[in-house]
Amino acid sequence: MDKSFLTDIKELRRRARSHIEQGAITAAYRGDRETVLRLLNEALATELVCVLRYKRHYYMASGIHAQAVAEEFLEHASEEQAHADLIAERINQLGGEPDLNPEGLLTRSHSEYVEGDDLVDMIKEDLVAERIAIESYGEIVRFLGDHDITSRRMMEEILENEEEHADDLRNLLATFDPTHPA
Ligand SMILES: [Fe+2]
Ligand SMILES: [Fe+2]
Q: How far apart are the CA of 28 and the centre of ligand 2, in A?
A: 32
Spacing, Cα 20 to ligand 2 middle (Å):
36
Q: Helix or strand or coil: residue 97?
A: coil
Quote the pTM value. Answer: 0.86
- Rg (the chain; Cα; Å): 20
Rounded to the nearest angstrom, the distance between the alpha carbon of 80 and the centre of ligand 1 is 4
Give the Å distance between the CA of 132 and the centre of ligand 2.
10
pLDDT (0 to 100) of residue 26: 74
Q: Residue 172 in contact with residue 71, Cβ under 8 Å?
A: no
7 Cα–ligand 1 center, Å:
39
pLDDT at 7: 61
Span from the CA of 33 to the centroid of ligand 2 (angstroms):
26
* Sequence-ordered list of residues with C-beta below 8 angstroms from that of 62, at least 6 positions apart, any chain: 70
Predicted local distance difference test score (pLDDT) of residue 13:
67
Note the ligand closest to the C-alpha atom of 81. 1
pLDDT tens-digit map of 84-120: 999 999 999 999 999 999 999 999 999 999 999 899 9
Residue 54 and residue 87: Cα distance in Å, rounded?
Answer: 19
Positions of the chain with pLDDT lower than 70, given as ranges: 1-7, 9, 12-13, 15-23, 65, 181-182
Q: What is the pLDDT of residue 137?
A: 95
Ligand 1 centre from 3 Cα, in Å?
Answer: 36
